[in-house]
Amino acid sequence: MRPADLPSPSAHWPERVIELCGELRNRPADGRRDAIIADVWLLVNTALCRYVRFNSRATHLDPEDVRDIASEKSLAFLKQVLDPENVFVADNPGRVCAYFSTLARNALIDRGRQLERQRNVPLDATLVHDPLPADPEARLAGAQFAQALREAVLLLNNRTRTIWFFRVLLDMSSREIARHPDIQMNATAVDMALSRARRAIRSHMKKRGFAPQEIPPGTLAMLWEAMYRNDRRGEETRKDDG
Amino acid sequence: MDEPHGILSSAHVDEDQIIDLVSGLMEPPAVRAAMGHIERCPACESLLKTALQERELLRARGVPPVTAAAPAVRRRRRGLVGSVAVAAMIMLIGVVVWQKFLPRPAGAGYWIPVNTNGMMLRSDGDESFRIFAEKTRPYREHDAEGAIRSLQGDPFAGDETLRSLSRLYLASALVNDYRGGEALPILHQLKIETLPGEWRGPAMWVQYLALRQAGDAAADAVLQAAVAEPGHVGVLAREERDRLSGRRPRG
């Protein structure tokens, strides 16, 4: 069994952190440097969220607290990387992971959280494997509903689709959506776009014979993949055009 | 071709793989294998949802201003240097304690991150982007006087977004030059609520600093609003609120 502090053997993110940090240290202050800082920030934060969640799994930390701790420590990490006198040696993925895990643990201790520090707990033990509905008919109906929903969502324009996805599947507030770099609208405009999207989706689903219901399991993954592939196709088309 | 992460459609996807997935670090065959499993596994889908929520919220909140930490204090200095350092430390503590009871001039040292890379996507053309990058260079280098010289005179009158941003950076540079009073009319014309999302928080903070420098009582209301801001501006505002109320910052 793999200890929790070690990355998945084939995980790419720790190597990417090392690569970006190396680039950042040698980069003069220019636009590219700001972009690298943004990339490091996003990646380190996402990774730290994983370790904060892992180290606080016994205490059911509020997701907002997880994000706060990860942001605070990501900022400290970035400052360290940018400090020319600092000797942070992140030369292998295992060390990066162990460092992040320690950062997360110490942050939790700093906050005085009651945490159960179990070492070397295999990652797989943290997963709760809820089975899909056992009833084949229910599964089929769910899959058909999800498929129709996918069609409806893909009919929306990119921005409206993203707004709908952020709100309905990621539970983001209008204010957060409005500030997102892919959206850049005010909160009222977000609400209006959302309302239009819901009407369009309802209408499509009605035509396909589906009444409103809970979104079945698997829908988030299916829609994200559809959007992700859409983005990839868009990028490839742009590259071809270029 | 990259190994598909060793993921068979029946194998669960762990959080490291989820990070790779949402960060775009997985190769397409591995993505297909992972998604094939996630779509049929509520537990793994829940991990994906959490990671996506975290990532998109971070993107919505933007990168806080990052400056390198102050150079570490060198150790093992002896003799006269050590004595001078101890004396300087005692004086510094005295000054800090003394300043705690004095109103402090607010405002210097806050620089809004200039993400020229992200801006390229919104700019009308490469030329205006190039000029923008050039004009904001002193600001990026934290040279307040240079930034004021470079950004004065409305150099982006034809591009509303770049114009607004250059005005915001000008206002921030003025605040960093302790000329908050001059920054206020610029911020007033800017209409902060109409700025792109990622700049509204920083603009609010610059406005607060400018008002504080100008001795304007409206600063308190702006600070109250900034306290509720997410991300780095919220942190700054809460620290400032605590400082003004004489409490130690939390955290």
If phi over 0 gives left and psi between -120 and 50 gives alpha, with beta otherwise, what is residue B202? Answer: alpha
Out of A34, A43, A80, name the one closest to residue B69 (CB): A80
Q: What is the pTM of this model?
A: 0.56
- For residue B198, the chain A residue with the least C-alpha distance is A179
**What value of ipTM does the predicted structure carry?**
0.80
Q: What is the largest CA-CA distance in chain A?
A: 65
Could you identify the residue written with the tokens 């930390």? A61
Cβ separation of A49 and B133 shorter than 8 Å?
Answer: no
Q: How far is A186 from chain B (nearest CA, A)?
A: 8
With vertex at residue B228, the alpha carbon angle to CA A50 and CA B185, rounded to the nearest 5 degrees, is 125
- How far, in Å, CA of A36 to CA of A48, rounded? 18
Residues of chain B with C-beta less than 8 angstroms from the C-beta of A86: 69, 72
Top pLDDT among B130 and A209 is at A209
Would the CB atoms of B56 and A127 count as touching at under 8 Å? no
What local confidence, expressed as pLDDT, does residue B214 receive? 82
Percentage with pLDDT > 70 across chain A: 76
CB neighbours of A32 closer than 8 A, spacing ≥ 6? B117
Q: A181–B118: do the CB atoms touch at under 8 Å?
A: yes
Which pLDDT belongs to residue A3?
52
Mean pLDDT of chain A: 78
Instruction: Give the C-alpha distances (Å, rounded to integers) separating A218 from A224, B35, B59.
Output: 10, 10, 24
Give B164's pLDDT tier (boundaries 50, 70, 90): confident
**Contact state of B113 with A34 under an 8 Å Cβ cutoff:** yes
N- to C-terminal Cα distance for chain A? 47
Average of per-residue pLDDT across A193-197: 93
Is the pLDDT confidence value at B73 over 70? no
Judging contacts by C-beta atoms under 8 Å, the chain A residues touching residue B56 are: 166, 170, 172, 180
Closest-CA residue of B relative to A97 is B16
In whole angstroms, what is the distance from residue B201 CA to residue A143 CA?
42
Does B243 contact A at CB distance below 8 Å?
no
**What is the model's pLDDT at position A125?**
38
Which is nearest to A19 in space by CA: A98, A100, A74, A96? A96
**Listed residue (A44, A26, A64, A41) closest to B65, CA to CA:** A41
* B 106-135 near A (Cβ less than 8 A): 113-118, 120, 122, 133
Query: Do residues B61 and B199 touch, judged by C-beta distance below 8 A?
Result: no
DSSP state of A152: H
Q: Say if residue B107 is exposed, middle or buried (CB neighbours under 10 Å; 0-12, 13-18, 19+).
A: buried
**pLDDT at residue B49, as a whole number:** 93
Candidate from B22, B60, B140 with C-beta closest to A176: B60
Distance from CA of B20 to the nearest CA of A (A): 6
Interface of B with A in 160-189 (CB under 8 A): none
CA distance B38 to A223: 12
- For the segment B62-74, the average pLDDT, to the nearest whole number, is 54
Name the residue with higher pLDDT: A94 or A229: A94
**Among B233, B152, B224, residue whose Cα is nearest residue B198:** B233
- d(CA A44, nearest CA chain B) in Å: 10
Please provide the DSSP assignment of chain B as one string.
Answer: ----TT--TTSPP-HHHHHHHHTT-S-HHHHHHHHHHHTT-HHHHHHHHHHHHHHHHHHHH-PPP--PPPPPPP----HHHHHHHHHHHHHHHHHHHHHHTSPPPP-TT------HHHHHTTSS-HHHHHHHHHHTHHHHTT-HHHHHHHHTT-TTTT-HHHHHHHHHHHHHHHHHTT-HHHHHHHHHHH-GGGS-HHHHHHHHHHHHHHHHHTT-TTHHHHHHHHHT--HHHHHHHHHHHHHHTTPPPP-
In DSSP notation, A115-149 reads: ----TT--GGGG---PPPPS-HHHHHHHHHHHHHH
Q: Which helix (H) or strand (E) holds A239?
A: helix A219-241
For residue B18, what pLDDT band results from cuts at 50, 70 and 90? very high
Residue in A43, A84, A232 closest to B23 by CB:
A43
- The beta-carbon neighbor of B43 closest among A34, A85, A127 is A127
Residue position matching structure tokens 């007033």: B188
Pull the structure tokens for residue B210: 């400018």
Query: If you average pLDDT over residues B9-38, what whole number do you get?
Result: 86
- Answer with the residue of higher pLDDT: A17 or A211: A17
CA distance readout (Å), B108 to A241, B65, B176, B179: 46, 13, 4, 10
B47 contacts chain A (CB < 8 A):
yes
Whether A127 and chain B come into contact, CB under 8 Å, resolves to yes
What is the rounded average pLDDT of the residues A97-123?
A: 65
Mean pLDDT of B206-216: 87
Contact A13 B16 (CB under 8 A): yes
Kindly state whether B152 is in contact with chain A, defined as any CB-CB distance less than 8 angstroms. Answer: no
pLDDT of residue B1: 38
Is A46 in CB contact (< 8 Å) with chain B?
Answer: yes
A13 touches chain B (CB under 8 A): yes
- Output the CA–CA distances (angstroms, integers) from residue B115 to B65, B169, B176, in the order listed: 11, 12, 19
What's the gap in Å between the CA of A83 and the closest CA on chain B? Answer: 5
Residue type, A227: M
Chain B positions in Cβ-Cβ contact with residue A182 (cut-off 8 Å): 59
Extract the tokens encoding B1. Answer: 């071709």
Helix, strand, or coil here: A59?
Answer: coil
Q: What does R_g of chain A's alpha carbons equal in angstroms? A: 21
pLDDT tens, position by position, A117-170:
443 344 443 434 444 555 667 677 778 888 899 999 999 998 999 999 999 999
